[in-house]
């Protein structure tokens, strides 16, 4: 029998203990041994919990970390501390660790993987990216023979749920977010989802594996979905696009990479555009395999538990022989986002009077930006809403032009700027200049 200790009994922790009980027969058949949840760390003993946790709760982390009979510690509390310290202690005490905590792995992976290696134990984190989607193990094992050229995907279930609900059901942002929280998709601080930080942590983990380097979340350029308004979704639809929060990383030359999380208008025929609600998808491009896509539920109790329990089984069966250590041996430079190129959608409000449009297009022209399309939308009073789409331009040229446009007397505001997928790009990465 393999004894495990679980730290945290929220959405995912509850899913894990319920799944271990529900499928105990197949799990022990496949493993050749039973898994026993010996102790579960919580903060509050009086809270109503799943019946599967009865008699196992403790308020003391030491009851798990110092118990010599516990071989595997499963960290499902979330947040940076005390999760990181508990993971460290468990590794120091030569216990395998399974976690779904992308914040800790993306920020402190180097230190923790080195410690795991020194202690001769595993640190497994399949559930930290893409919820129930198998992606970490396939990247490290099944695609190990490839040089990875690019990864792009929808890595956050909460924001994808919100955008889908806004697009398809006309729901407002706050209402859709509340529902995502009720369904257990959102982080305890949902601004981590909305502002793109959660997707940036996941992209940092994926690109570290894909490009054998160490990318931390602070190196990822991030824009969230907080500025997306119903008007953007409506105009995107009229142009044949859907708006998705896309996380993307690609190699630029031999020594540089580009890592960006941002909303992107994707053609409705693009494979990521069909990814709805809490579903996530990750497109990986390898030099031998070509393009492969991984798809599934990116958040939620049971899909995430599926990934965590598979890691527990892997830790239980591996003994010491089959461990895959950290593979981040290279040092690559992350390039400045200003030099990344894309097409851009711009929505702005300006006075509806002669000469205004020519001043706006003048600012674009002076910054070497050519426009693909200009449409005047609603006019309210003497203010018109104008939608423009550029050709491929470097982001820094666009920023410079917009700074000039914002200063024009007749321009009320630049309401939004969103990357647009082009014929040859995913909207984030165009040709690099």
Q: DSSP code of 140?
A: I
Indicate which of ligand HSE, ligand NAP, none lies near residue 279 (CB less than 5 to 8 Å, by partner kind).
Answer: none
Is there binding between residue 155 and ligand NAP (CB under 6 A)? no
Q: DSSP code of 330?
A: B
Nearer to ligand NAP, 41 or 326 (CB): 41
202 is catalytic: yes
Give the C-alpha separation, 9 to 7, whole Å: 7
Task: Please name every residue paired with 6 in a beta bridge, in sequence order, or none if there are none.
Answer: 40, 74
Q: Which stretch binds ligand NAP (CB under 6 A): 28-36, 42-50, 377-385, 413-421?
A: 42-50
Give the C-alpha separation, 390 to 367, whole Å: 12
Is there binding between residue 186 and ligand HSE (CB under 6 A)? yes
Binding test (CB under 6 A) with ligand NAP, winner from 41, 162, 257, 272: 41
Coil, helix or strand at residue 64: helix
Indicate which of ligand NAP, ligand HSE, none lies near residue 158 (CB less than 5 to 8 Å, by partner kind).
Answer: ligand HSE
Is there binding between residue 167 and ligand HSE (CB under 6 A)? no
Kindly report the CA angle at 84 between 178 and 66, in degrees rounded to 5?
A: 120
List all residues 6 or more positions away from 48 whose beta carbon is below 8 Å from its beta carbon. Answer: none
Q: How far is the CB of 116 from ligand NAP (least distance, A)?
A: 18
Kindly report the CA angle at 156 between 198 and 195, in degrees rounded to 5?
A: 50
DSSP strands (E only) in 76-132: 96-99, 123-124
Is there binding between residue 82 and ligand NAP (CB under 6 A)? yes
Nearer to ligand NAP, 208 or 390 (CB): 208
Give the C-alpha separation, 197 to 195, whole Å: 6
Indicate which of ligand HSE, ligand NAP, none lies near residue 13 (CB less than 5 to 8 Å, by partner kind).
Answer: ligand NAP
- Identify the active-site residue in 202, 244, 251, 349: 202
Is there binding between residue 191 and ligand NAP (CB under 6 A)? no
Is there binding between residue 29 and ligand NAP (CB under 6 A)? no
List all residues 6 or more positions away from 24 whose beta carbon is below 8 Å from its beta carbon. Answer: 34, 35
Binding test (CB under 6 A) with ligand HSE, winner from 187, 223, 311, 426: 187
Residues between 193 and 222 that touch ligand HSE (CB under 6 A): 193, 198
Is there binding between residue 306 and ligand HSE (CB under 6 A)? no
Is there binding between residue 314 and ligand HSE (CB under 6 A)? no
C-alpha 252: how far from chain center? 21
Q: How far is the CB of 73 from ligand NAP (least distance, A)?
A: 13
Is there binding between residue 126 and ligand HSE (CB under 6 A)? no
Give the C-alpha separation, 183 to 8, whole Å: 18
- My answer on whether omega of the bond before 82 falls inside 30° of 0, hence cis, is yes
Alpha helices, DSSP H only, in 318-394?
356-366
Indicate which of ligand NAP, ligand HSE, none lies near residue 296 (CB less than 5 to 8 Å, by partner kind).
Answer: none
Site string for ligand HSE, 128-147 (x = CB under 6 A): ---x----------------
List all residues 6 or more positions away from 92 whose beta carbon is below 8 Å from its beta carbon. Answer: 115, 119
List all residues 6 or more positions away from 248 whose beta carbon is below 8 Å from its beta carbon. Answer: 150, 151, 152, 153, 203, 258, 259, 260, 261, 426, 428, 429
**Site residues, ligand NAP (CB under 6 A):** 8-13, 41-44, 47, 76-78, 82, 100-102, 127, 131, 184-185, 187-188, 299-300, 304
Contacting positions for ligand HSE (CB under 6 A): 131, 156-158, 185-187, 193, 198, 298-299
Residues assigned a catalytic role: 202
């Amino acid at each position: 029998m393999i004894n495990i200790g679980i730290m945290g009994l929220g959405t995912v922790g509850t899913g894990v203990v319920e799944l271990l009980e529900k499928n105990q027969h197949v799990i022990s058949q496949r493993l050749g041994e039973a898994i026993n949840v010996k102790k579960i760390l919580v903060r509050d003993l009086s809270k109503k919990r799943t019946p599967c946790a009865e008699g196992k709760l403790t308020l003391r982390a030491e009851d798990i970390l110092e118990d010599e009979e516990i071989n595997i510690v499963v960290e499902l509390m979330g947040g940076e501390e005390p999760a990181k310290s508990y993971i460290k202690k468990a590794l120091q005490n030569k216990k395998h660790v399974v976690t779904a905590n992308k914040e800790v792995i993306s920020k402190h992976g180097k230190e923790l993987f080195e410690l795991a290696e020194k202690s001769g134990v595993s640190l497994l984190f399949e559930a930290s990216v893409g919820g129930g989607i198998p992606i970490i193990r396939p990247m490290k094992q099944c695609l190990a023979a490839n040089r990875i050229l690019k990864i792009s995907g929808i890595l956050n279930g909460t924001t994808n749920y919100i955008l889908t609900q806004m697009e398809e059901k006309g729901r407002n942002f706050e209402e859709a977010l509340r529902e995502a929280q009720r369904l257990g998709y959102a982080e305890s601080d949902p601004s981590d989802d909305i502002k793109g930080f959660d997707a940036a942590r996941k992209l940092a983990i994926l690109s570290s594996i894909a490009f054998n380097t160490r990318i931390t979340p602070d190196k990822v350029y991030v824009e969230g979905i907080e500025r997306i308004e119903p008007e953007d979704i409506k105009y995107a639809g009229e142009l044949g696009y859907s708006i998705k929060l896309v996380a993307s990383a690609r190699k630029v030359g031999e020594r540089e990479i580009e890592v960006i999380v941002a909303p992107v208008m994707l053609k409705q025929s693009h494979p990521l555009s069909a990814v709805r609600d809490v579903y996530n998808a990750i497109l990986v491009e390898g030099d031998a395999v070509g393009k492969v896509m991984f798809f599934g539920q990116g958040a939620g109790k049971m899909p995430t538990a599926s990934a965590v329990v598979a890691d527990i089984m892997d830790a239980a069966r591996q003994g010491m022989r089959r461990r895959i250590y950290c593979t981040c041996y290279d040092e690559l430079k992350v390039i400045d986002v200003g030099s990344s190129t894309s097409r851009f959608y711009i929505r702005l409000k300006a006075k509806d009077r002669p000469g205004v449009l020519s001043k706006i297009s003048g600012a674009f022209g002076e910054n070497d930006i050519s426009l693909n399309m200009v449409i005047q939308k609603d006019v309210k009073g003497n203010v018109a809403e104008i939608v423009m789409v550029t050709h491929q331009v470097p982001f820094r040229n666009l920023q410079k032009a917009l700074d000039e446009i914002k200063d024009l007397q007749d321009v009320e505001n630049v309401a939004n700027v969103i990357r647009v997928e082009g014929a040859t790009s995913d909207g984030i990465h165009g040709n690099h200049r």
